């Protein structure tokens, strides 16, 4: 059975279903009840049964309450009626007959009322159930129509089945897109892994790992562990004897800046001049090594700056201040950062209060190569350096009696010499917590 049928009361249409045949159905529009016949036509429901008949009358066969009445209840009533018409009445028997008849009539009426209530409840439940079923069928059909419309719209309104499904083109494109997506994801993961491996095991990172590595057993105790780590940097103190190397034992999340180069040819003239100078504390300044004693003796006799300057002019002695020396370095074509780095290399010390002419190994190498260049045998090509920084580095803190590990952001510089034979290894030049700088 297919198609639809109208409500006989208001004309609302509903889908036909074998489940609705012969059952009471309540219209969702007019709320009236009707019955769907086997021929697919809906007819109004039959009227409800009339009032209850007297107990002495035989109920109609169509009355559903007749099945609940006792078949022996009518003959005694008739018998009593016939006896009453032929024999003289007896008060006791007449009263008993009337009492029995009344009881039977009340019982029959109560049973019929209960039966009618049950039937009414059954009809209401059936109507509600049919209404729910009809609503569910209507919703299902609405969803099916909406899906069909959506499918037609997605297929470009080309029949019920679009050409993409007929030819398999859509499935092929979907597979190709999934393949490209998976391939791109795998490529990105592989690239990230390669970059991580490169950065994790780069020469720069290896230099930091070497600086933070564990110390020998003899130095692994309070008072010796931190100095042993600090000694791994190229310098530990600047020209003012301030510490420029801190004992970090872990440097995670490091960011390396782009390496920069200082061509050795730009600083070679300055280094040759600087190699012939010595620094004086009293009077403060720089002078050639062969004239140092003259300045010292004169200052000891006449500790006056104006007299000293006159004596230097008369004797042809050049006494330069630190600012003049650094100005000559900048005049060689270096930028400010590179100039500061070269001056730092020449004046910083590997150990505190060192009195050697070459306070750190890189300064000694630079000055020695500058002298070799005058002989035509230079080996250095450039100085290469970079700045690095990071967060939450593990620093050995010395509050007294025992080291403590604290987290500090950090910043430092790496340096290496570029020779004609190749590049050297990176080394930590200086390293300090950010709060100290």
Per-residue pLDDT of the chain (437 residues; tens, 9 = 90+): 568 889 999 988 888 888 888 888 889 889 899 898 888 888 887 544 444 333 333 334 444 433 333 333 334 433 333 333 344 445 554 555 555 566 667 667 777 777 888 888 888 888 888 888 888 888 888 888 888 877 776 554 444 433 333 345 567 777 888 888 888 888 888 887 777 665 557 899 999 999 999 999 999 999 999 999 999 999 888 888 888 899 999 998 899 999 999 999 889 888 888 888 888 888 888 889 888 899 889 998 888 888 888 888 888 888 888 888 888 888 878 888 999 999 998 888 876 554 545 578 888 888 888 877 767 777 889 999 999 999 999 999 998 889 999 999 999 999 999 998 888 899 999 999 987 55
Q: Please tell me the predicted confidence (pLDDT) of residue 199.
A: 55
Q: Please tell me the predicted confidence (pLDDT) of residue 325.
A: 86
Q: Please tell me the predicted confidence (pLDDT) of residue 65.
A: 39
State yes or no: cis peptide before 283, omega within 30 of 0: yes
Choose among 265, 266, 309, 302: nearest CA to 287. Answer: 309
Strand, helix or coil for residue 410: strand
Contact present, 56 and 102 (Cβ < 8 Å): no
Half-sphere exposure of 423 (CA within 13 A, CB side): 12
Rounded distance between C-alpha atoms, residue 129 and residue 79, angstroms: 49
Q: What angle do CA 356, 357, 360 make, to 5 degrees?
A: 75
Rounded distance between C-alpha atoms, residue 306 and residue 154, angstroms: 97
Strand, helix or coil for residue 356: coil
Q: Please tell me the predicted confidence (pLDDT) of residue 437.
A: 52
Pairing of strands 427-433, 4-6: unpaired
Tell me how crowded residue 23 is: count the other CB atoms within 10 A of its CB: 14
Tell me how crowded residue 417 is: count the other CB atoms within 10 A of its CB: 19
Q: Please tell me the predicted confidence (pLDDT) of residue 49.
A: 46
> Phi/psi class of residue 11: alpha, beta or left (left: φ > 0; alpha: ψ in -120 to 50)?
left
Query: What separation in angstroms does the CA of 419 have from each of 358, 412, 423?
Result: 20, 23, 6
Pairing of strands 285-288, 427-433: unpaired
Q: Please tell me the predicted confidence (pLDDT) of residue 62.
A: 40
Rounded distance between C-alpha atoms, residue 73 and residue 81, angstroms: 13
């Amino acid at each position: 059975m297919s198609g639809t049928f109208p409500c006989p009361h208001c004309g609302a249409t509903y889908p036909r279903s074998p489940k609705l045949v012969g059952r009471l159905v309540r219209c969702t529009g007019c709320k009236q009840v009707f019955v769907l016949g086997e021929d697919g036509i809906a007819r109004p429901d039959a009227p409800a049964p009339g009032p209850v008949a007297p107990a002495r009358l035989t109920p109609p066969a169509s009355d559903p309450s007749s099945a609940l009445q006792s078949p022996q209840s009518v003959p005694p009533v008739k018998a009593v009626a016939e006896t009453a018409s032929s024999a003289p009445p007896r008060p006791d028997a007449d009263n008993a007959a009337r009492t029995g008849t009344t009881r039977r009539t009340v019982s029959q009426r109560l049973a019929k009322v209960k039966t009618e209530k049950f039937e009414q409840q059954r009809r209401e439940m059936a109507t509600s159930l049919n209404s729910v079923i009809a609503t569910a069928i209507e919703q299902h059909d609405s969803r099916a129509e909406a899906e069909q419309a959506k499918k037609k719209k997605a297929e470009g309104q080309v029949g019920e089945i679009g050409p993409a499904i007929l030819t398999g083109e859509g499935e092929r494109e979907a597979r190709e897109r999934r393949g490209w997506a998976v391939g791109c994801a795998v490529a990105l993961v592989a690239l990230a892994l390669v970059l991580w491996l490169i950065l994790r095991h780069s020469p720069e990172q290896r230099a930091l790992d070497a600086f933070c590595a564990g110390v020998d057993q003899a130095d692994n105790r309070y008072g010796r562990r931190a100095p042993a780590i600090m000694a791994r940097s190229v310098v530990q103190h600047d020209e003012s004897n301030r510490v420029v190397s801190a004992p970090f034992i872990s440097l995670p999340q490091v960011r390396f800046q782009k390496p920069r180069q200082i061509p050795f040819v730009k600083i070679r003239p300055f280094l040759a001049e600087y190699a012939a100078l010595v620094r004086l504390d009293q009077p403060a300044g720089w002078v050639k090594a062969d004239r140092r004693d003259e300045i010292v003796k004169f200052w000891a006799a006449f500790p006056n700056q104006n007299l000293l300057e006159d004596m230097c002019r008369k004797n042809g002695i050049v006494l330069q201040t630190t600012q003049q020396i650094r100005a000559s370095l900048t005049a060689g074509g270096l930028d400010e950062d590179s100039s500061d780095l070269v001056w730092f290399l020449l004046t910083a010390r590997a150990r505190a209060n060192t009195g050697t002419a070459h306070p750190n190994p890189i300064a000694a190498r630079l000055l020695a190569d500058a002298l070799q260049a005058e002989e035509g045998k230079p080996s250095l090509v450039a100085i290469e350096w970079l700045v690095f920084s990071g967060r939450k580095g593990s620093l050995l803190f010395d509050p007294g009696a025992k080291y403590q590990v604290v987290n500090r952001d950090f910043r430092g510089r790496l340096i290496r010499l570029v020779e004609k034979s190749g590049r050297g290894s990176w080394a930590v030049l200086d390293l300090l917590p950010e709060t100290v700088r």
